[in-house]
Structure 1
Amino acid sequence: MQSDTRTTDLDATDLQLIDNLQLDGRMTYTELAHRVGVTEKTARRRVSRLLEARYITIAAVTDPGVLGFHCMALIFITIDGSRLPVDIADELVTVPEVHYVTVTTGRFAMQAEVVCTDKQELYDVVFGAIASVSGVATVEILPYLRLHYQQARFSGLPTGVGGIRPKPLDTTDRAIITHLAADGRAAFRDCATALGVSEATVRLRYAKLIESGAIRVMCIANPLRLGYRFSGWVTIQIGENGRAQDVAEALTRLKAVSYVAITAGRADVIAEVIAATGESLLAVLDDEIRVIDGVAAIGSLTYLTVYYKAIRPRGPSTRVDPDADDQTG
């Protein structure tokens, strides 16, 4: 999924469809059409167009560790001026381990979020696949100590559902999430067959996973294409007596914050902030983030272009023994 600074052709109906699919990416077309006030045929056609044009993707949002990715990092990239940043981004996003590429203002022209199985793979990807791309001058790793919070939702519709946080899961839960990560709208019947459990088990487990905040299947939309032109990364340094975990948790309570990770290196915490105007971004930075206890300094990197890929499992879903694990509570 790519975005640029040009005006897009999303109309009010498209935005309503995206809003509702951000609430629930598995919403039936019948329900979706009813909520938006169009025919089911129109809803299907519009959503298909949005998917084909890569305005959106529908996927399971979960802790990447569930999918076997136990090492994540944000890579700060400087460029040598021999190529346009967007051309470099086009190439970087083809690297399998690269999940998110942003071209931004500020000292670092680009950032790439990578999801890897371990530190050795991280090292190989950063200093091999990324550093060797023509036009890349330097790379700097901010390894995640914890992916603390994911929201990935910019819908204006009210919901009682919070963001995604790491949760303890058993084998069956992990298998269900892995299957839905490959296809967020996969039929529960097909998921049950693939995993060797009953459809009722899949439905019950899925409902509990949603309730616990371990997973959400939702429409992932690029904020720039939805009009949030002043979105970007915020880097945060913690003061001498501050705690990164406390600051990270405080950030999750801010409406404009969609993503929080505790990191090592240049920043102690990073957050993605979604803002439509310069004034709204300034208000978030000055009135909401700088005043958090423990924050010593912040920096902002405003998005110019965003390239996004949903995190997919690398291998096929594994069949599970339905009697092997206790039911989740």
Structure 2
Amino acid sequence: MTDELDRQIVAALIRNGRAPYRLIAEVLGQQERTVSRRANKMLASGLLRVQSFPSPTALARVDLYMLRVDVEPALMDAVASWLAGREQTHWISSLAGSSSCAVEVFLPQEQVNEFLYEQLARVEGVRDFSLNPVFEYYRTVSGWRPDILSTEQYEQLSPAEDPRFVTGYSSSAPAVLDDSQRKLITLLRDNGRLTIEEMASGLGVSKTTASRKIESLINDGVLFVRAVLDPADIGYPVEGLVTVEVDISDVDRVGRYLADLPSTRWAVNVAGRLQIQSAVRNLAELYTTVREISALKGVNSVDLSLFTKIYKRSTIAYQQGKLPALQASGDTRFVSVLGPRQ
């Protein structure tokens, strides 16, 4: 990242991927043309992208799990790359604390056995695995607030996210989408900052209709639009998975506290244990974070494992350790998550 203003622009787009440059400029106290020029330069370079991500639990009957796979060390790349190629996985990282990788995966209940024992178990290099349900999200990556902007600035850009959207559909019927909504989700998959005019043209509808459709999808938690990048690019090169054992009566209180830490990219309740992905500037800052968590009332233990390599982030599989260049318009990698036409 070039300088502090670039980092501020990226932080704004993490908070609200569709925030008008006019609003970002107002929040940052800059001129709109300066913000627009810098943001477009980063987007064109591939350093930053803004994309849409439909919530699988809102669109199909699937459940969210955290998967830990123990791997033969020499075959980590092969196993993690195989996992990254599965459409059911959204995020994958190898861990330094053990020869294993951590995976976020969405699966229908009836496919769990097939995925684990008929597919994953047969991959060369897999030694063991464990799959645990995610009971609740306290923060998603869309809610990450790196301490680049103030709380007030983040609130000006967008209200705080409601992470319950991610797991809140498990007990209700999936959303029913019409053809134009499905097409809109696909259009925004390549470029989350399409203008209303471009969306209207792509859908063959009026600008008012296009605007109403995207607002409905976002407000209902069906669609997330956010910046995707490596935290290292904005000054947070140290990432790790922190697992917190908590008294059952304190899970929600501690979970909300962890979610509010500036270093927390996401925070979840995994089968009664809390897990967070932490991104910080250096190991000293990570040590301070772990000590702070350990001192919380109700916390019994804290386990940390640094990420050694990212294989997939926000549904995007890495290529040679980096986010790949954007696909040409019409990419359909995520269409299957939209579920059957209804």
What's the TM-score, normalizing by structure 1? 0.73
Question: Does residue 89 of structure 1 match 2:94?
Answer: no
The counterpart of 1:272, out of the listed 252, 274, 277, is 277
Question: Does residue 297 of structure 1 match 2:301?
Answer: yes
Instruction: Return the offset for 1:318.
Output: 8.7
Question: Does residue 47 of structure 1 match 2:54?
Answer: no
Which residue pairs with 2:71 in the alignment? Answer: 79
Instruction: Return the offset for 1:299.
Output: 0.7
Instruction: Return the offset for 1:308.
Output: 2.6
Query: How many Å separate the matches in 1 of 2:94 and 2:77?
Result: 7
Query: How many Å separate the matches in 2 of 1:186 and 1:69?
Result: 29
Contact 1:101 1:307 in 2 (8 A): yes
Contact 1:26 1:217 in 2 (8 A): yes
Identify unmatched segments of 5+ residues in structure 2. Answer: 26-30, 170-174, 316-333
Query: How many Å separate the matches in 1 of 2:16 and 2:215?
Result: 12
The counterpart of 2:112, out of the listed 89, 113, 122, is 122
Contact 2:244 2:273 in 1 (8 A): yes
Instruction: Return the offset for 1:69.
Output: 5.7
Instruction: Return the offset for 1:77.
Output: 1.6
Instruction: Return the offset for 1:146.
Output: 2.4
The counterpart of 2:286, out of the listed 281, 284, 296, is 281
The counterpart of 1:166, out of the listed 153, 164, 167, is 164
Distance of aligned partners of 1:186 and 1:226 in 2 relative to their CA distance in 1, 3 Å threshold: same
Which residue pairs with 1:144 in the alignment? Answer: 134
CA deviation vs aligned residue, 1:12-57 (integer Å, no higher than 9, x gap)? 37545533432432345788795583774x653431221xxxx444
Contact 1:64 1:70 in 2 (8 A): yes
More deviation in 89-98 or 17-26?
17-26
Instruction: Return the offset for 1:102.
Output: 0.5
Query: How many Å separate the matches in 1 of 2:201 and 2:58?
Result: 21
Question: Does residue 257 of structure 1 match 2:255?
Answer: no
Distance of aligned partners of 1:15 and 1:81 in 2 relative to their CA distance in 1, 3 Å threshold: same
CA deviation vs aligned residue, 1:158-187 (integer Å, no higher than 9, x gap)? 311323412479657994785576342344
Query: How many Å separate the matches in 2 of 1:212 and 1:162?
Result: 14
Instruction: Return the offset for 1:98.
Output: 1.5
The counterpart of 1:67, out of the listed 59, 64, 69, is 59
Structure 1 residues 219-230: aligned runs within 5 Å = 219-230=227-238
SS in 1 for 2:336: coil
Query: How many Å separate the matches in 2 of 1:262 and 1:30?
Result: 37
Distance of aligned partners of 1:273 and 1:38 in 2 relative to their CA distance in 1, 3 Å threshold: closer
Distance of aligned partners of 1:69 and 1:271 in 2 relative to their CA distance in 1, 3 Å threshold: farther
Contact 1:60 1:217 in 2 (8 A): yes
Distance of aligned partners of 1:301 and 1:36 in 2 relative to their CA distance in 1, 3 Å threshold: farther
* AA partner of residue 299 (structure 2): V
CA deviation vs aligned residue, 1:191-215 (integer Å, no higher than 9, x gap)? 5688897643553465577678775
Question: Does residue 133 of structure 1 match 2:123?
Answer: yes
Contact 1:76 1:108 in 2 (8 A): no
Distance of aligned partners of 1:247 and 1:30 in 2 relative to their CA distance in 1, 3 Å threshold: closer
Instruction: Name the one with the larger helix percent.
Output: 2
Report how many residues are paired: 300
Query: How many Å separate the matches in 2 of 1:271 and 1:165?
Result: 14
Contact 1:150 1:260 in 2 (8 A): yes
Question: Does residue 110 of structure 1 match 2:101?
Answer: yes
RMSD of aligned C-alpha atoms? 3.8
Which residue pairs with 1:37 in the alignment? Answer: 34
Contact 1:61 1:217 in 2 (8 A): yes
Distance of aligned partners of 1:175 and 1:270 in 2 relative to their CA distance in 1, 3 Å threshold: farther
More deviation in 274-283 or 101-110?
101-110
* AA partner of residue 257 (structure 2): A
Distance of aligned partners of 1:313 and 1:263 in 2 relative to their CA distance in 1, 3 Å threshold: farther
SS in 1 for 2:309: strand
Which residue pairs with 2:319 in the alignment? Answer: none
Identify unmatched segments of 5+ residues in structure 1. Answer: 1-9, 321-329
Which residue pairs with 1:246 in the alignment? Answer: 253
Question: Does residue 21 of structure 1 match 2:19?
Answer: no
Contact 1:232 1:274 in 2 (8 A): yes
Taking only the aligned residue pairs, the percentage that are identical comes to 18
